[in-house]
Amino acid sequence: MPYCAVNGIDLYYESHGAGNPLVFIHGSGGNHASWYRQLPVFSKSHRCITFDQRGFGNTEDKDGRGRSAMVDDLAGLLDRLEIGRAVVVAQSLGGGAGIGFACRHPERVAGLVMCDTLVGIRLPRELAAIMSETNKRTAGLSQVERVLGPLTRERSPEMALLYTQLASFNNYRVGTIPGEFQPVDLAEIGDAGVPLLFVLGTDDILFPPDCIRRVHALLPGSELLEIPEVGHSAYFEDAPTFNRHLGAFLARLKFG
């Protein structure tokens, strides 16, 4: 298996295709395998990197730092793979590593896609209060109820089953991940100047669409993509739409 020694751990990764690098960072219900509907499409034109964050899939969190180390893990992985600059696609939990890395190392991020996430962003007080209430309201829901929209669960029970099977390989679950991301301010994101695309599923119950819309509005120059009738995992639930728009974003960046 392809592992590399990064930041005190043996981090599992995969590299597919050739071209300008495209790095995918999974959420707390996923791992490297979650991007199986993106790799066949984008590996034709890009070098696609997937990996297991510490405590997920094939990567152990040996020192228990969890989220506190994930930005440095990403930096270390790109260093070891000799990737100087990449487009980063981050889902949910992965947004914390993506936005943190983009603000610390903006010269290394050709573009950032934040998928159904505001993780790692220090929100204005009103939005922070909404997110706090949302977290309380959804805490007792099952994994599938949290991450997939109701129409996806109804139309594709096999997709819901696959999601839970992928998540079963993780050591960490929601609520068990140690550490904290160092949050970045909206001003820091703006100053970084990284091309930024927010993606939201209109039926997402974990990150209310209106919260993402309002953060997008507070970041001039950022883009927003809304995918209807999907929940918290737009890339997974409606991959054709997600892939089409990701491809268009890459074309606008002239990255690949």
- HSE (side-chain half, CA atoms, 13 Å) at 210: 6
For 194-234, how does the pLDDT look when each residue is reduced to its tens digit (9 = 90+)?
999 999 999 999 999 999 999 999 999 999 999 999 999 99
* Per-residue pLDDT at 222: 98
Is residue 254's pLDDT more than 90? no
SS3 115: strand
Strand 196-201 with 223-227, pairing: parallel
What is the second-level CATH architecture of the domain 3-253? 3-Layer(aba) Sandwich (3.40)
Domain ranges of the chain: 3-253
Q: How far apart are the first and last CA of the chain?
A: 28
> What phi and psi, each to the nearest 5 degrees, are found at residue 235?
-60, -30
Note the helical H segments in the chain: 39-42, 70-80, 94-104, 125-138, 143-147, 150-155, 157-167, 186-192, 209-218, 234-237, 239-253
pTM > 0.95: yes
Summarize the confidence of residues 222-251 as an average pLDDT.
98
The β-bridge partners of 12 are 3
For 123-142, how does the pLDDT look when each residue is reduced to its tens digit (9 = 90+)?
999 999 999 999 999 999 99
Tell me the C-alpha distance between 232 and 149, whole Å. 7
Q: How confident is the model at residue 256 (pLDDT cuts 50, 70, 90)?
A: low
